[in-house]
Amino acid sequence: MFNEIIEFVKAQFPGKKFIPLHEPKFIGNEKKYLNDCIDSTFVSSAGEYVTRFEKMMCELTGAKHAVAIVNGTNALHIGLLVSGVKPQEEVITQALTFVATGNAISYCDAIPIFIDVDKSTLGMSPEALIEFLEQNAFVATDGYAYNKNSNKRVAACVPMHTFGFPCDIARLAEICKKWNIALVEDAAESLGSYYKGKHTGTFGKLGVFSFNGNKTITCGGGGALVTNDEEIAKRVKHLTTQAKVQHKWEFNHDQIGYNYRMPNLNAALACAQLEQLRNFVENKRQLAQKYQDFFEGRSITHIKESNNAKSNYWLNAVLLKNKEERNQFLEATNANGVMTRPVWELLNRLSMFEDCQTDGLENSKWLSDRLVNIPSSVRV
Protein backbone atom coordinates (compact mmCIF):
# COMPACT_ATOMS: atom_id res chain seq x y z
CA MET A 1 0.00 0.00 0.00
CA PHE A 2 2.86 2.38 0.80
CA ASN A 3 5.34 0.95 -1.71
CA GLU A 4 5.47 4.09 -3.78
CA ILE A 5 6.44 6.16 -0.76
CA ILE A 6 9.02 3.65 0.41
CA GLU A 7 10.63 3.63 -3.03
CA PHE A 8 10.60 7.42 -3.16
CA VAL A 9 12.34 7.75 0.21
CA LYS A 10 14.93 5.15 -0.80
CA ALA A 11 15.62 7.03 -4.02
CA GLN A 12 16.51 10.13 -1.97
CA PHE A 13 19.18 8.19 -0.10
CA PRO A 14 20.78 6.02 -2.81
CA GLY A 15 23.09 3.17 -1.86
CA LYS A 16 21.67 2.78 1.65
CA LYS A 17 20.09 -0.46 2.87
CA PHE A 18 18.63 1.10 6.00
CA ILE A 19 17.52 4.71 6.05
CA PRO A 20 17.61 6.26 9.51
CA LEU A 21 15.39 9.13 10.59
CA HIS A 22 18.30 11.50 11.12
CA GLU A 23 21.98 10.74 11.20
CA PRO A 24 24.85 13.11 11.96
CA LYS A 25 27.28 14.18 9.24
CA PHE A 26 30.93 14.95 10.04
CA ILE A 27 32.32 16.30 6.80
CA GLY A 28 34.00 19.55 7.91
CA ASN A 29 36.64 20.50 10.47
CA GLU A 30 35.42 18.08 13.15
CA LYS A 31 38.54 15.89 13.30
CA LYS A 32 40.89 18.85 13.03
CA TYR A 33 39.29 20.71 15.95
CA LEU A 34 39.06 17.56 18.07
CA ASN A 35 42.75 16.89 17.47
CA ASP A 36 43.53 20.50 18.43
CA CYS A 37 41.73 19.90 21.71
CA ILE A 38 43.59 16.71 22.49
CA ASP A 39 46.97 18.15 21.49
CA SER A 40 46.35 21.18 23.72
CA THR A 41 45.16 18.94 26.64
CA PHE A 42 42.21 21.32 27.07
CA VAL A 43 39.49 18.71 26.73
CA SER A 44 37.30 19.71 29.65
CA SER A 45 35.29 22.73 30.71
CA ALA A 46 37.99 25.35 30.13
CA GLY A 47 39.19 25.94 26.62
CA GLU A 48 39.02 28.25 23.68
CA TYR A 49 36.45 26.26 21.71
CA VAL A 50 33.86 26.86 24.41
CA THR A 51 34.18 30.62 24.05
CA ARG A 52 34.43 30.37 20.27
CA PHE A 53 31.22 28.32 20.25
CA GLU A 54 29.46 30.95 22.36
CA LYS A 55 30.58 33.69 20.00
CA MET A 56 29.38 31.72 16.99
CA MET A 57 25.98 31.19 18.64
CA CYS A 58 25.65 34.97 19.15
CA GLU A 59 26.54 35.61 15.51
CA LEU A 60 24.05 33.01 14.29
CA THR A 61 21.10 33.96 16.45
CA GLY A 62 21.72 37.67 16.83
CA ALA A 63 21.47 37.31 20.61
CA LYS A 64 23.87 39.43 22.66
CA HIS A 65 24.92 36.55 24.92
CA ALA A 66 25.25 32.79 24.64
CA VAL A 67 26.29 30.27 27.29
CA ALA A 68 27.47 26.76 26.40
CA ILE A 69 25.80 24.05 28.50
CA VAL A 70 26.18 20.24 28.68
CA ASN A 71 22.85 19.53 27.00
CA GLY A 72 19.55 21.09 26.04
CA THR A 73 17.63 19.63 28.95
CA ASN A 74 19.96 21.20 31.51
CA ALA A 75 19.97 24.45 29.55
CA LEU A 76 16.17 24.51 29.95
CA HIS A 77 16.49 23.75 33.65
CA ILE A 78 18.85 26.66 34.22
CA GLY A 79 16.80 28.88 31.93
CA LEU A 80 13.72 28.31 34.06
CA LEU A 81 15.64 28.90 37.30
CA VAL A 82 17.06 32.25 36.17
CA SER A 83 13.62 33.24 34.85
CA GLY A 84 12.48 33.14 38.46
CA VAL A 85 10.60 29.83 38.52
CA LYS A 86 10.30 28.72 42.15
CA PRO A 87 9.22 25.41 43.71
CA GLN A 88 5.45 24.81 43.54
CA GLU A 89 4.93 27.50 40.93
CA GLU A 90 3.38 26.66 37.57
CA VAL A 91 4.82 26.69 34.07
CA ILE A 92 2.68 26.56 30.94
CA THR A 93 3.96 24.44 28.08
CA GLN A 94 2.56 22.33 25.25
CA ALA A 95 1.50 18.70 25.64
CA LEU A 96 2.95 17.91 22.23
CA THR A 97 6.67 18.09 22.98
CA PHE A 98 9.63 15.92 23.89
CA VAL A 99 9.65 14.78 27.52
CA ALA A 100 12.70 16.95 28.31
CA THR A 101 10.51 20.08 28.30
CA GLY A 102 8.34 18.66 31.09
CA ASN A 103 11.29 17.18 32.95
CA ALA A 104 13.14 20.51 33.08
CA ILE A 105 10.06 22.11 34.66
CA SER A 106 10.00 19.29 37.22
CA TYR A 107 13.70 19.79 38.06
CA CYS A 108 12.67 23.22 39.39
CA ASP A 109 10.02 21.51 41.51
CA ALA A 110 7.54 23.47 39.44
CA ILE A 111 4.32 22.09 37.97
CA PRO A 112 3.63 21.96 34.24
CA ILE A 113 0.33 22.98 32.69
CA PHE A 114 -0.20 21.50 29.24
CA ILE A 115 -2.05 23.48 26.59
CA ASP A 116 -2.86 22.90 22.94
CA VAL A 117 -0.86 23.47 19.78
CA ASP A 118 -1.91 24.78 16.37
CA LYS A 119 -2.26 22.27 13.56
CA SER A 120 -0.50 24.63 11.17
CA THR A 121 2.69 25.20 13.21
CA LEU A 122 2.64 22.14 15.54
CA GLY A 123 3.69 24.62 18.24
CA MET A 124 1.87 26.33 21.11
CA SER A 125 -1.36 27.99 20.01
CA PRO A 126 -1.67 31.71 20.89
CA GLU A 127 -5.47 31.26 20.99
CA ALA A 128 -5.15 28.37 23.41
CA LEU A 129 -2.83 30.43 25.60
CA ILE A 130 -5.18 33.43 25.66
CA GLU A 131 -8.17 31.23 26.38
CA PHE A 132 -6.38 29.35 29.13
CA LEU A 133 -5.24 32.55 30.84
CA GLU A 134 -8.58 34.34 30.51
CA GLN A 135 -10.46 31.40 31.97
CA ASN A 136 -7.98 30.32 34.61
CA ALA A 137 -5.72 33.18 35.62
CA PHE A 138 -5.80 36.61 37.22
CA VAL A 139 -3.15 39.25 37.80
CA ALA A 140 -2.65 39.84 41.53
CA THR A 141 -1.57 43.06 43.27
CA ASP A 142 2.07 41.99 43.01
CA GLY A 143 1.70 42.26 39.23
CA TYR A 144 2.08 38.53 38.57
CA ALA A 145 -0.34 36.03 37.05
CA TYR A 146 -1.89 33.41 39.33
CA ASN A 147 -3.93 30.32 38.58
CA LYS A 148 -7.46 30.66 40.05
CA ASN A 149 -7.73 26.91 40.58
CA SER A 150 -4.49 26.35 42.46
CA ASN A 151 -3.64 29.88 43.64
CA LYS A 152 -0.11 29.22 42.43
CA ARG A 153 1.86 31.74 40.42
CA VAL A 154 2.14 31.08 36.69
CA ALA A 155 5.83 31.84 36.50
CA ALA A 156 6.81 30.98 32.94
CA CYS A 157 5.61 29.82 29.56
CA VAL A 158 7.65 27.41 27.42
CA PRO A 159 6.58 27.11 23.78
CA MET A 160 8.52 24.68 21.60
CA HIS A 161 9.34 24.89 17.90
CA THR A 162 8.29 21.37 16.92
CA PHE A 163 10.58 19.58 14.42
CA GLY A 164 12.14 22.96 13.59
CA PHE A 165 8.87 24.62 12.49
CA PRO A 166 8.69 28.02 14.18
CA CYS A 167 5.51 28.45 16.21
CA ASP A 168 3.63 31.77 16.27
CA ILE A 169 6.27 33.10 18.64
CA ALA A 170 5.74 36.85 18.17
CA ARG A 171 2.12 36.59 19.31
CA LEU A 172 3.01 34.27 22.17
CA ALA A 173 5.61 36.83 23.29
CA GLU A 174 2.98 39.58 23.29
CA ILE A 175 0.58 37.52 25.39
CA CYS A 176 3.29 36.60 27.90
CA LYS A 177 4.29 40.24 28.17
CA LYS A 178 0.71 41.32 28.80
CA TRP A 179 0.33 38.73 31.59
CA ASN A 180 3.83 39.30 32.99
CA ILE A 181 4.84 35.68 32.43
CA ALA A 182 8.47 34.88 31.58
CA LEU A 183 8.83 33.47 28.08
CA VAL A 184 11.40 30.69 27.83
CA GLU A 185 11.74 29.33 24.30
CA ASP A 186 12.49 25.66 23.87
CA ALA A 187 14.31 26.06 20.56
CA ALA A 188 16.09 22.71 20.98
CA GLU A 189 14.94 21.55 17.55
CA SER A 190 15.02 24.84 15.66
CA LEU A 191 18.63 25.88 15.20
CA GLY A 192 18.66 27.66 11.83
CA SER A 193 14.89 28.37 11.89
CA TYR A 194 13.56 31.92 11.68
CA TYR A 195 10.30 33.69 12.37
CA LYS A 196 9.90 36.85 10.27
CA GLY A 197 13.66 36.88 9.72
CA LYS A 198 14.49 36.67 13.41
CA HIS A 199 16.15 33.53 14.76
CA THR A 200 14.03 31.30 16.99
CA GLY A 201 15.05 31.38 20.63
CA THR A 202 15.43 35.18 20.67
CA PHE A 203 11.84 36.28 21.25
CA GLY A 204 11.55 35.87 25.00
CA LYS A 205 13.73 36.37 28.03
CA LEU A 206 15.91 33.54 26.81
CA GLY A 207 15.99 30.55 24.51
CA VAL A 208 17.71 27.18 24.59
CA PHE A 209 19.14 24.90 21.91
CA SER A 210 20.23 21.27 21.81
CA PHE A 211 23.16 19.66 20.00
CA ASN A 212 22.21 16.07 20.76
CA GLY A 213 23.14 13.35 18.28
CA ASN A 214 19.83 13.36 16.43
CA LYS A 215 19.49 17.13 15.99
CA THR A 216 20.25 19.20 12.87
CA ILE A 217 23.86 19.58 14.00
CA THR A 218 25.43 17.74 16.91
CA CYS A 219 28.41 17.85 19.22
CA GLY A 220 27.69 14.48 20.83
CA GLY A 221 25.82 16.06 23.67
CA GLY A 222 25.44 19.77 24.15
CA GLY A 223 23.20 22.73 24.67
CA ALA A 224 23.25 26.50 24.61
CA LEU A 225 21.25 29.28 26.21
CA VAL A 226 20.92 32.63 24.44
CA THR A 227 19.67 35.92 25.85
CA ASN A 228 19.98 39.67 25.34
CA ASP A 229 20.06 40.23 29.09
CA GLU A 230 23.60 40.55 30.42
CA GLU A 231 22.55 39.92 34.00
CA ILE A 232 20.83 36.67 33.03
CA ALA A 233 23.83 35.54 30.98
CA LYS A 234 26.12 36.13 33.98
CA ARG A 235 23.85 34.20 36.32
CA VAL A 236 23.59 31.30 33.87
CA LYS A 237 27.36 31.09 33.52
CA HIS A 238 27.75 31.26 37.31
CA LEU A 239 25.13 28.60 38.02
CA THR A 240 26.45 26.23 35.36
CA THR A 241 30.01 26.41 36.74
CA GLN A 242 29.28 25.30 40.33
CA ALA A 243 28.55 28.90 41.40
CA LYS A 244 32.25 29.43 41.93
CA VAL A 245 33.29 32.95 42.88
CA GLN A 246 36.11 34.11 40.61
CA HIS A 247 39.43 34.15 42.43
CA LYS A 248 43.04 33.35 41.57
CA TRP A 249 43.17 30.33 43.85
CA GLU A 250 40.43 30.24 46.44
CA PHE A 251 37.49 27.86 46.26
CA ASN A 252 34.52 29.90 47.21
CA HIS A 253 30.97 29.15 46.10
CA ASP A 254 28.10 31.47 46.95
CA GLN A 255 25.11 29.19 46.30
CA ILE A 256 24.21 25.67 45.18
CA GLY A 257 25.54 25.47 41.65
CA TYR A 258 25.54 22.91 38.87
CA ASN A 259 28.22 21.17 36.83
CA TYR A 260 26.52 22.04 33.57
CA ARG A 261 29.39 23.63 31.58
CA MET A 262 30.00 22.20 28.12
CA PRO A 263 33.42 20.51 27.82
CA ASN A 264 35.89 21.86 25.26
CA LEU A 265 35.82 18.55 23.31
CA ASN A 266 32.12 18.93 22.65
CA ALA A 267 32.53 22.63 21.90
CA ALA A 268 35.21 21.80 19.29
CA LEU A 269 32.75 19.51 17.56
CA ALA A 270 30.02 22.13 17.90
CA CYS A 271 32.18 24.82 16.24
CA ALA A 272 32.96 22.55 13.29
CA GLN A 273 29.30 21.66 12.90
CA LEU A 274 28.08 25.26 13.24
CA GLU A 275 30.35 26.21 10.33
CA GLN A 276 28.22 23.90 8.18
CA LEU A 277 24.79 24.81 9.53
CA ARG A 278 23.83 27.04 6.63
CA ASN A 279 24.66 24.31 4.09
CA PHE A 280 22.95 21.63 6.13
CA VAL A 281 19.75 23.65 6.38
CA GLU A 282 19.85 24.43 2.65
CA ASN A 283 20.32 20.71 1.96
CA LYS A 284 17.44 19.77 4.27
CA ARG A 285 15.14 22.36 2.73
CA GLN A 286 15.80 20.87 -0.71
CA LEU A 287 14.79 17.45 0.58
CA ALA A 288 11.68 18.98 2.16
CA GLN A 289 10.75 20.50 -1.20
CA LYS A 290 11.11 17.07 -2.86
CA TYR A 291 8.82 15.55 -0.25
CA GLN A 292 6.40 18.45 -0.71
CA ASP A 293 6.23 17.82 -4.46
CA PHE A 294 5.91 14.07 -4.00
CA PHE A 295 3.05 14.22 -1.51
CA GLU A 296 1.18 16.93 -3.46
CA GLY A 297 -2.13 15.46 -4.58
CA ARG A 298 -1.66 12.29 -2.52
CA SER A 299 -3.74 11.31 0.49
CA ILE A 300 -0.83 11.88 2.89
CA THR A 301 -0.11 15.49 3.84
CA HIS A 302 3.47 16.75 4.15
CA ILE A 303 3.76 19.47 6.81
CA LYS A 304 4.94 22.78 5.43
CA GLU A 305 6.43 25.81 7.18
CA SER A 306 3.84 28.54 7.82
CA ASN A 307 3.83 31.96 6.15
CA ASN A 308 6.04 33.93 8.49
CA ALA A 309 8.40 31.08 9.18
CA LYS A 310 11.56 29.65 7.69
CA SER A 311 12.03 26.14 9.03
CA ASN A 312 15.28 24.19 9.26
CA TYR A 313 13.15 21.11 8.41
CA TRP A 314 15.00 19.16 11.10
CA LEU A 315 12.49 16.34 10.80
CA ASN A 316 10.03 16.11 7.95
CA ALA A 317 6.57 15.17 9.14
CA VAL A 318 3.51 13.78 7.42
CA LEU A 319 -0.11 13.37 8.46
CA LEU A 320 -1.94 10.09 7.90
CA LYS A 321 -5.73 9.84 7.66
CA ASN A 322 -6.25 8.26 11.06
CA LYS A 323 -4.51 6.19 13.72
CA GLU A 324 -5.16 2.91 11.96
CA GLU A 325 -3.58 4.14 8.75
CA ARG A 326 -0.74 5.67 10.74
CA ASN A 327 0.03 2.30 12.28
CA GLN A 328 -0.05 0.60 8.89
CA PHE A 329 2.35 3.23 7.57
CA LEU A 330 4.73 2.72 10.52
CA GLU A 331 4.60 -1.06 10.00
CA ALA A 332 5.22 -0.93 6.26
CA THR A 333 8.05 1.61 6.31
CA ASN A 334 9.97 0.20 9.26
CA ALA A 335 9.67 -3.34 7.89
CA ASN A 336 11.23 -2.14 4.63
CA GLY A 337 14.34 -0.34 5.88
CA VAL A 338 12.79 3.13 6.02
CA MET A 339 12.82 4.40 9.57
CA THR A 340 9.73 6.36 10.58
CA ARG A 341 8.48 7.32 14.03
CA PRO A 342 5.18 8.56 15.49
CA VAL A 343 5.21 11.86 17.34
CA TRP A 344 5.95 11.67 21.10
CA GLU A 345 3.22 10.54 23.46
CA LEU A 346 1.45 13.66 24.75
CA LEU A 347 3.13 14.59 28.03
CA ASN A 348 -0.15 14.68 29.98
CA ARG A 349 -0.54 10.98 29.15
CA LEU A 350 2.77 10.05 30.81
CA SER A 351 2.33 8.74 34.34
CA MET A 352 4.44 11.43 36.02
CA PHE A 353 2.42 14.23 34.44
CA GLU A 354 -1.06 12.68 34.43
CA ASP A 355 -2.37 14.90 37.24
CA CYS A 356 -1.31 18.15 35.58
CA GLN A 357 -3.85 20.68 34.41
CA THR A 358 -4.59 20.76 30.66
CA ASP A 359 -6.94 22.53 28.32
CA GLY A 360 -8.95 20.41 25.85
CA LEU A 361 -5.80 19.55 23.83
CA GLU A 362 -8.04 18.99 20.84
CA ASN A 363 -5.39 19.54 18.16
CA SER A 364 -2.69 17.77 20.16
CA LYS A 365 -4.83 14.63 20.39
CA TRP A 366 -5.73 14.82 16.71
CA LEU A 367 -2.07 15.24 15.71
CA SER A 368 -0.83 12.52 18.02
CA ASP A 369 -2.97 9.97 16.15
CA ARG A 370 -1.71 11.00 12.73
CA LEU A 371 1.73 12.61 12.82
CA VAL A 372 4.76 10.61 11.63
CA ASN A 373 8.37 11.66 11.02
CA ILE A 374 10.11 10.43 7.89
CA PRO A 375 13.85 10.25 7.02
CA SER A 376 15.39 13.72 7.01
CA SER A 377 19.19 13.43 7.15
CA VAL A 378 21.48 15.79 5.29
CA ARG A 379 22.36 14.15 1.98
CA VAL A 380 25.97 14.31 0.81
Q: Which residues bind ligand PLP (CB under 6 A)?
A: 71-73, 97-98, 100-101, 160, 186, 188-189, 210, 212, 223
Cβ distance to ligand PLP smaller for residue 166 or 223? 223
CB 205 within 8 A of CB 158: no
Cβ distance to ligand PLP smaller for residue 19 or 224? 224
Nearest distance from C-beta of residue 208 to ligand PLP, angstroms: 7
Cβ distance to ligand PLP smaller for residue 260 or 295? 260
Nearest distance from C-beta of residue 101 to ligand PLP, angstroms: 5
Nearest distance from C-beta of residue 71 to ligand PLP, angstroms: 4
Rounded to whole angstroms, the Cα distance separating 122 from 96 reads 8
The alpha-helical segments, DSSP class H, found in 215-353 are 230-240, 264-274, 277-295, 323-335
Q: Which residue is nearest to ligand PLP (CB)?
A: 72
Rg (CA), the chain: 21
Cβ distance to ligand PLP smaller for residue 159 or 300? 159
Nearest distance from C-beta of residue 234 to ligand PLP, angstroms: 23
Nearest distance from C-beta of residue 210 to ligand PLP, angstroms: 3
What is the edge-to-edge ordering of all strands in the sheet holding 223-227? 65-69, 223-227, 206-210, 182-186, 154-158, 90-94, 111-115
Whole-number Cα distances in Å, 218 to 112, 189, 281 = 28, 11, 13
Cβ distance to ligand PLP smaller for residue 185 or 325? 185
CA atoms within 13 A on the CB side of 38: 7
